[in-house]
Chain A
């Protein structure tokens, strides 16, 4: 990917023994991570695996049960509200659907953090907003309302808003979800370009293998509350771990089952117990033979995501 100018890069975020969850289920169970400065780090994993939760913990919106999240050496969980608010101004977050303020125009959305937090004059605000909008290619859309622009554009506006205060860290929550191929390519290039041009540190939470592997310096795969793989995209692709293998090849069945745990199909259908046909294995193989159930031999298995 991009050359490392400093080797090894200093960590911007360190996560140590982080545990977070609800009484019955731990979502993150003893996570250790380092996010190096100046790089694009991708956090991947199955849905509901705690990827977005990590972003919320870094932003201080959730409090961990134990462990610590250090941002530039400061423990986010220990900060008082005013300090946390000040620290948040050093990070930007891009929400999944942009989270634009629907009653403000594109221009006012980007100007919002500048007007609220800084004491810049209106003419300065105008210059900064136009620069940021230009960086995402939407200077011409400045007078439109969020309801008048597409989902991909909304996310680019949100990106301009997230970088309005020139943060050190920017977190992307599913930046590629639901985008058409052109917007998707644009978004990916933009993330990489911003990271390198402004010297940002980026964290991407995403499912999209191709785009994410293409732009990330470091990939972290989460599963079952822990980190199962960490390294460059090439290293993760070569990982021997069956879970990681299933993830990077997008196989429908593997350690992560296609079927949600359920009683035997025959029982659910109310069929009488028959030792010849009710065993789950036999039923499954019978369905497989008839082509009704997906299997690891199906042509979809190796297809991945286009």
Chain B
């Protein structure tokens, strides 16, 4: 019985420590925004690394999600004889929901893991220590540029994902099934609101960018400097970031609906 309470106490304490450490790191990176922007080359290098190399997986996934939305949407809509609204259905699903969320999940798997492993291995190889001993803050030099690059990259990737998805829906709906192209695009144009739908989607993807990139960097920075520790942190990045994204998505959607 005592052992159980000890376990609970220890777990709680460790969680509080993690919470404190992550909060401190987060505040540090937010405060480093201006100094980081002064050396934008470091950020753009990372945006290239995180963004460009994620483009393939994001585009292909977006296309296939669009295909499936086209098929499933057509199946439902044709029951009510309103298959001309397929364009609207595909666009709204992607822009409001699937674009930011699926893109964030893919980003956690593609870019998040590489960030965690990179930082974790730099720590294991004493590179971060070496930097500290030169009088250079590794948070400012290594973590902050990666963080802001991830935050900027994410909305762009989500937009690419949605665009590819809409093209996918068009290929299935218009080219393959034969829905009228005019009503496909016309309903989409009429039904999608720039602020209520598009802007909310962009806000979501921005928040997911902050969440996923921060979790990835934190996991790498606090990784045990051993092969096992880095592998465990990389796994945690995917698990924790995915859960956070899905949980936050529900909260954000509920909040945005009530507006």
A binds B: yes
User: Are A93 and B127 in contact (CB-based, < 8 A)?
Assistant: no
CB distance from A56 to the nearest CB of B (A): 8
User: Are A97 and B132 in contact (CB-based, < 8 A)?
Assistant: no
Select one of B122, B125, B135, B141 contacting A88, CB under 8 A.
Answer: B135
User: Are A88 and B127 in contact (CB-based, < 8 A)?
Assistant: no
**A93-B130, A116-B141 known; A99 and B125 CB under 8 Å?**
yes
User: Are A99 and B136 in contact (CB-based, < 8 A)?
Assistant: no
Please name all residues of chain B whose beta carbon is closer than 8 Å to the beta carbon of A38 when the two chains form the complex: none
User: Are B134 and A116 in contact (CB-based, < 8 A)?
Assistant: yes
Please name all residues of chain A whose beta carbon is closer than 8 Å to the beta carbon of B125 when the two chains form the complex: 97, 99, 102
Per the 8 Å Cβ criterion, residues 82-116 of A in contact with B are 85-89, 91-93, 95-97, 99-102, 112-113, 116
Q: How many residues of A contact B (CB 8 A)?
A: 23
Select one of B122, B126, B136, B137 contacting A95, CB under 8 A.
Answer: B126
**A97-B125, A99-B125, A99-B127 known; A85 and B133 CB under 8 Å?**
no
User: Are B134 and A113 in contact (CB-based, < 8 A)?
Assistant: yes
Flag whether A59 is at the interface (Cβ < 8 A): yes
Flag whether B129 is at the interface (Cβ < 8 A): yes
User: Are B126 and A89 in contact (CB-based, < 8 A)?
Assistant: no
Flag whether A61 is at the interface (Cβ < 8 A): yes
Of all chain B residues, which has the CB nearest A112?
A: B134
User: B127, B130, B132, B136: which has the most chain A beta carbons within 10 Å?
Assistant: B130
User: Are B127 and A61 in contact (CB-based, < 8 A)?
Assistant: no
Flag whether A159 is at the interface (Cβ < 8 A): no
Mask, B157-176, CB within 8 Å of A = 1, is 00000000000000000000
Flag whether A306 is at the interface (Cβ < 8 A): no
Per the 8 Å Cβ criterion, residues 109-162 of B in contact with A are 122, 125-127, 129-130, 132-137, 141
Select one of A61, A92, A100, A102 contacting B132, CB under 8 A.
Answer: A61
Please name all residues of chain B whose beta carbon is closer than 8 Å to the beta carbon of A93 when the two chains form the complex: 130, 133
Q: In the docked arrangement, what's the CA distance between A93 and B134, Å?
A: 8
Range, interface on chain B: 10 to 19
Of all chain B residues, which has the CB nearest A158?
A: B130
User: Are B129 and A61 in contact (CB-based, < 8 A)?
Assistant: yes
User: Are A88 and B133 in contact (CB-based, < 8 A)?
Assistant: yes
Please name all residues of chain A whose beta carbon is closer than 8 Å to the beta carbon of B136 when the two chains form the complex: 85, 113, 116-117
Please name all residues of chain B whose beta carbon is closer than 8 Å to the beta carbon of A116 when the two chains form the complex: 134, 136, 141
CB distance from A258 to the nearest CB of B (A): 28
Flag whether A76 is at the interface (Cβ < 8 A): no
User: Are A117 and B135 in contact (CB-based, < 8 A)?
Assistant: yes
CB distance from A70 to the nearest CB of B (A): 18
CB distance from B48 to the nearest CB of A (A): 14
CB distance from A156 to the nearest CB of B (A): 15
User: Are B129 and A85 in contact (CB-based, < 8 A)?
Assistant: no
Of all chain A residues, which has the CB nearest B121?
A: A102
CB distance from A91 to the nearest CB of B (A): 7
Which 3 residue pairs are nearest across A and B when measured between Cβ atoms?
A99-B130, A99-B126, A88-B135
Q: Interface of B with A (CB < 8 Å)?
A: 122, 125-127, 129-130, 132-137, 141
Q: List 24 A-B contacts (CB under 8 A).
A: A59-B133, A61-B133, A85-B135, A85-B137, A87-B135, A88-B133, A88-B134, A89-B134, A89-B135, A91-B133, A92-B133, A93-B133, A97-B125, A97-B126, A99-B126, A99-B127, A99-B130, A100-B127, A101-B127, A102-B125, A112-B134, A117-B135, A158-B130, A165-B134
